Structure formats: C-alpha cells, structure tokens
Chains A and B, each alone.
Chain A
Amino acid sequence: MKKQLIIFAFLILGLTSVAQTTKSYYNSGNTATTKKFVSASWLPGTILLADGSELVGQVRGYTYKGNDINSFRYRVKKGDKARTIKAIDCQLISYDGLIILSLPKNLKKKFGKRMFYVTLYYGEHLTIFQNPKAEVASSFSGSITFNEGQMLSYLALKDGQISKITKLRFRNQMKNIAYDNQKFMNRTTDRSWFKYDNIYKIAHFYNQTKN
C-alpha cells in the first residue's frame, strides 16, 4: 500500500508540475522616441537584483534628480514594509511598461558609481537607452515642429561598449555598430525603414537576426 501511495504521489506531481523557465523581459512595444519618464505610483514590477535573484511585487519611482530617476521603492503588496532599491543594488527593473537598466554613471568606466537609465529597446545583443544629456526637439513661437518632444540622441549598449547615436548621423553610426550582422546590413539599403524615427524596430531586427 505504501509503495502504491508513493507511485500515486509521483504521478500527481508529474501531472501538475510545470517546467520552470528563465523569465524574459519583453519590451512593451512602445516605439515612440519621445522621452519616457518613471512614474511615482505603485505598480506591478520586477526587480532583477545584482546577485541575479528576482523581486516580484509592487514598485514605484522614489527619488529623482530633475526628471531622471535616482532610486525605487519595492514592496511585496499594499500594506507591506517597503524597501529602497538603488542602482548599485540591481541590474534591471521592469516597471510600468519600461525596462530600466543599472549602468555606470560614468559610461567610460565599468566600475564606480551607478545610475538608472531608461531603455527604449532592451535586447540580448543590442540595447538602446535614453541619453540623460540628450537634446529634445522643441518648437518655438511661430514655427511648426513635426517631431516635437523627440529625443535627438540615444545610447547603444553592445558587447559591453556604449556608443552614442544621434539623429543627424544615425545611418553611419548604426552601420558602425551593426556591421557584424549581414542580414541587418542588407536591410539598411531600405531607406524608408532604416531611419532614426524607426530606431526601436531597427534595434529589434538586429537582435532577432544576430546569431
């Protein structure tokens, strides 16, 4: 009888268990090149800590420096005690349709102080993120600007190296970054697709076609 019970327990376990897979952090699909801000409302979010473990619960922006985020607050659920998460404590935060990366404050140095950067596109091979020092297109009295609010430069993270991508020299800069992907380079001849306004989809295509 004992043997039968053990077999039964294993069978139940087999029927109900689901394979555990590593979590993927998907981009929200927001292709807008306008500046994205981190809100201060409690919303569902995930924090990938520096040691690789995950915190899943509610997250909100906590302290800011101008419009840029300095730290987050995390709690499991409403009513629980919240803790402060700084850039040095984590690798990544997925919150409110945004993916926020923790990278060195001085991008030329790998070590030292860290800060948060909001990504436009988070990818396995190439990540495009907001340049805190970027100029933003704005109209002035009596003029019409079709790209009002657009960030005029982004930063690209590839193979641990960070490069600046500007609207003015986008095509050359992007080709220099993505020269190692032949399928991508072939598509760059399509000028209606290969343009700065399409940077999200361009980064996505690079990541998907890079082996």
Chain B
Amino acid sequence: MKSILFLISFLFVGQLQAQDTTFKYVKTNEKKALAGLKSVMNSSAFVLNDLSAAESYEKVYNYISSKYEYPEDVLMSNTPGAELVIQETIPGLYTMKSMGFVNSFAVRYRMTFKTRDGSIECSIASMQLENPVTMSQNMEKEWNDMDGLYLHRKNGKPKKTMSGITDTKIENHFNAILESLQRSN
C-alpha cells in the first residue's frame, strides 16, 4: 500500500512540475532550408492562485474588459466560470533589426484561458504573422501561419537580426498577460 501511495504522489508531483508559469522560446533540432533552426514557445502556461474557478474567470474577464472598450470584439467564446477564448491582433509584435533598421509586423493569435480552482491555464493557438508584401488588391492584409521562430542559423549560431529581439518581445508580451493576471490577486 505504501508503495502505491508513493507512486501516486510521484505522479502527482511530476504533473505539477510539468506546468510552465512563463512563456519561453526553446531551440529545437528542426531545420529548414535557408531559414535555419526552429525555436518554439510552450503553448500554455499557468497562473497559480488561491481563487475558485469562478473567481478566476471573473478576473480574466475584468482583465479583458480593462483592455478593450468592447471586450466582445476580441472574445471568441466564453463558458462562464470555466473558459474564455480571445483573438487579439498586436501591431508590431514581431520585430527584426537589420542594418540598423527595425522592421515590425503585426501578430494575430488566439488565447484560451481555462479557469480552474487554484489556477488559470493560458494557451496560445493559431499564431499568425502579418504579411504586408502580399497585401491584396483591396489593401487587406494577408496572414501566414507562424508555428515557430527561426532564431538560429543551421550551424546553431544565433541570428543577430532576431535572436534576443523577436523572441524576447513576443515572450514579454505573453508574460505580461500572465503577470497582469497574477498581480491582481
């Protein structure tokens, strides 16, 4: 019986440790011709608190309301007390520095807030990058899927134009959301 209890507690602790509390880009071994080595960000992170699921939901909703005059514009779906899904477009979130020039593009993403007793799980999905080059004839933006960043060359050396710039700005943006949800405890 003791061994079983030990195994259960081991599994439980293992599950808790797997929960990220920040968003961070990590280099992978996936290579793409010309682009280099791919870095990916963890798709979800947790805000740990001592609130009930309903209180956490209220907190997330208030956070969205404080950012937008009409929060309904960004809300994709909401299940009261359990889940909120938003879609935001952030101008200039994707930044590159090249030859002294800064190029910035908008990023669009979907973020899901799953509220549970004691935590809020924030997941990012469908991240897309504005593509101004292929702007359509009637001046509407086109969007390309962005499943990672190519921050390193094939030989593993970081790209000066992106590494520490593009990833940091995106990480800071998402971590600021987590901090805002944590701060108003």
Contacts and interface: CB of A to CB of B under 8 A. Distances in A.
Interface stretch (A62-70, A105-113, A141-149): A141-149
B138 A149 contact: yes
Interface string A176-211: 000000000001000000000000010011001100
Nearest to A26: B76
Interface stretch (A29-37, A48-56, A82-90, A154-162): A29-37
Given A4-B1, A205-B72, A205-B73, A146 B139 contact: yes
B8 interface: yes
Contacts, number: 59
Contacts of A28: 126
Query: Interface residues of B: mostly helix, strand, loop or mixed?
Result: mixed
Contacts of A20: none
B138 A205 contact: no
A24 interface: yes
Interface residues of B, number: 25
Given A8-B4, A32-B140, A187 B70 contact: yes
A24 B110 CA distance: 13
Interface in B78-114: 85, 87, 89, 108, 110
Nearest to A7: B4
Interface string B124-159: 001010000000111110010000000000000000
A148 B138 contact: yes
A168 interface: no
Interface residues of A, number: 28
Contact of A208 (B11, B72, B136, B139): B72
A147 B87 CA distance: 25
B70 A147 contact: no
Contacts of B138: 32, 34, 137, 145-150
A30 B8 CA distance: 46
Contacts of A148: 137-138
B41 interface: no
B75 interface: yes
Residue among A8, A29, A33, A209 with the most chain B CB within 10 A? A29
Contact of B77 (A24, A145, A209): A24
Contacts of B139: 146
Contacts of A29: 87, 89, 108, 110, 126, 128, 143
Nearest to A137: B138
Given A29-B87, A29-B108, A148-B138, 18 more contacts: A12-B11, A24-B77, A24-B85, A26-B76, A26-B110, A28-B126, A29-B89, A30-B143, A31-B140, A32-B136, A33-B140, A34-B136, A149-B138, A201-B73, A205-B72, A208-B72, A208-B73, A208-B75
